[in-house]
Amino acid sequence: WLRLSDVEPPLNPRLIGESGLGKTTLACAVGRQMGREVYIFQCTMDTRPEDLLITPVLTGDQRIEYRASPVVSAMLRGGILLLDEGNRMPERSWASLAPLMDDRRYVESAIAGVKVKAHPNFRLCVTMNDDASVYELPGYIQSRLKPKIEIVQPPWRLRQEIIRRKCPGVDDDLLHEIFGELKRRARTTVRDSIRDMLTLAQYAQKLRNTGIDKPLERSIQQVLLK
């Protein structure tokens, strides 16, 4: 996101990794560290070009209002735009953002008939899940989303620390059992995400609090077994 000169456009990094590894959290944390507003747009297979830019809305008094998306809001305010799960979005939607990701730094809304230029402080980041239920990005988009940063599973010691910090209400003995079960699963071909681990710990404690027998066994069946 740093610029070496005023004429050089900033890079548009893409964070790639399995679901639940904290890609979105990482991007938001960097934005907060920089003191910038962070705008998140959740990409889906149904995302249309107009959803990314400006959408007409019919008001109660039968007038048409044009409402800017988080993309345009971030552009105008010089914030950080996070396109979450970007590779779930079809190519025709990506095409509307192509000028924004090179030295032109603008978008054009055919519906509103306007060209919107990005603030000099505007920055863009994309997260992408590494699974089969996504689109393959066209080459002209991939070349604009650099560098490619792969987010991998952290070391086991760090995973334990994350769970302890994010789940302070979980009993120590239950955490010990959870870590033992997760380590056993890690020695097999199973790969549990950080999100799954956090959900397991929280749910197991809630089952224990309600007096259910064998809360860890029940939570494993309902959280980890698919």
Measured between alpha carbons, how far is residue 45 from residues 6, 91, 99, 108 in Å?
A: 36, 10, 21, 21
- What does the domain layout of the chain look like in residue ranges? 14-150, 156-223
Q: Length of the chain, please?
A: 226
Instruction: State residue 22's pLDDT score.
Output: 87
Q: What is the pLDDT of residues 80-99, one digit of tens each?
A: 999 999 999 999 999 999 99
Q: What is the pLDDT of residues 104-130, one digit of tens each?
A: 999 999 888 899 999 999 999 999 987
Q: Looking at this protein, which amino acid is placed at residue 143?
A: S
On average, the pLDDT of the chain sits at 91
Q: Looking at this protein, which amino acid is placed at residue 168?
A: P
Cα separation, 101 vs 122, whole angstroms: 11
The confidence band for 226, taking pLDDT boundaries of 50, 70 and 90, is low
Q: What is the pLDDT of residues 178-205, one digit of tens each?
A: 999 999 988 887 888 888 999 999 999 9
CATH topology of domain 14-150: Rossmann fold (3.40.50)
pTM of this prediction? 0.83
